[in-house]
């Protein structure tokens, strides 16, 4: 059985880890390298670092921070934010990132997925899809959840995979930071239809939510931020509890 992955997410703004609700009302949480090292020691499977203002502000990605992370953290990590070309991806991978995540740039230039996948391999590219449900329609969003994109969740995710995405990171904007549970029914559909792993994001609040997203949502990995950053759900305790529920995780 393929083991399910637990992935702390560190949203980075100005070199500091931050967290908000529905992508706004941000609060500083700590140093990204120190926090990453802590999660690695706690048994997290991977980390995701997202420069959440890079696309909105039109800046380049945080290469110096990526180098620091690579030197201080000994588990795989993905970085995203402001990646608009294969050269941007190359610079981050050269700096030590294991994978890159693209979102807004891929929506505005879908061929970017093809270029990165053909140059580095699908295993190095994650396509992050932020979407909000409106009357049963999942509208994709861009630029850190600030603007609507003219795409629908399922068709865009399928296209991203056909272009070479190795994983889909789906965030339900309406669930983000609410701690009310993941969008499991939507995740189940997405996981069933796509040929690549799906990472669930948005809504983690209890250990049961993680069990639900693996059993009901059929997700391959679960990503969360605030419940880990606050210490409310320690990664080791979560993984032991999940194992007790019959879910295969790395202990």
Tell me the pLDDT tens digit for each residue of 99-148: 999 999 999 999 999 999 999 999 999 999 999 998 889 999 998 778 89
Tell me the pLDDT tens digit for each residue of 73-86: 999 999 998 899 99
Catalytic residues: 11, 130
Is residue 13 very low, low, confident or very high in pLDDT (cuts 50, 70, 90)? confident
pLDDT of residue 30: 82
pLDDT of residue 236: 98
Query: CA quadruple 75, 84, 126, 206: dihedral positive or negative?
Result: positive
Q: pLDDT over 70 for what percent of the chain?
A: 93
pLDDT beyond 70 at 244: yes
pLDDT of residue 201: 96
Domains identified in the chain and CATH numbers: 5-244 (3.20.20.70)
């Amino acid at each position: 059985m393929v083991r399910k992955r637990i992935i702390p997410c560190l949203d980075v703004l100005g070199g500091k880890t931050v967290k908000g609700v529905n992508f706004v009302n941000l609060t500083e949480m700590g140093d990204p390298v120190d926090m990453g090292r802590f999660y690695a020691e706690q048994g997290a499977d991977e980390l995701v670092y997202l420069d959440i203002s890079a696309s909105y502000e039109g800046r380049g990605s945080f290469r110096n921070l990526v180098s620091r992370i690579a030197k201080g953290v000994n588990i795989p990590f993905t970085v995203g934010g402001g990646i608009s070309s294969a050269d941007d991806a190359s610079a981050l991978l050269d700096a030590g990132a294991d994978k890159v995540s693209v979102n807004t740039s891929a929506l505005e230039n879908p061929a970017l997925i093809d270029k990165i996948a053909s140059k580095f391999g699908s295993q190095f590219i994650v396509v992050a899809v932020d979407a909000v449900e409106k009357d049963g329609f999942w509208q994709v969003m861009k630029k850190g959840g600030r603007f609507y994109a003219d795409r629908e969740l399922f068709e865009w995710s399928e296209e991203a995979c056909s272009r070479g995405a190795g994983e889909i990171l789906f965030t339900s904007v309406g669930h983000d930071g609410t701690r009310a549970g993941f969008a499991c029914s939507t995740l189940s559909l997405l996981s069933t239809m796509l040929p690549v792993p799906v990472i669930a994001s948005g809504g983690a609040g209890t250990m049961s939510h993680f069990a639900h997203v693996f059993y009901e949502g059929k997700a391959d990995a679960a990503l969360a931020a605030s419940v880990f950053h606050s210490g409310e759900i320690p990664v080791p305790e979560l993984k032991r509890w999940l194992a007790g529920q019959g879910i295969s995780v790395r202990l």
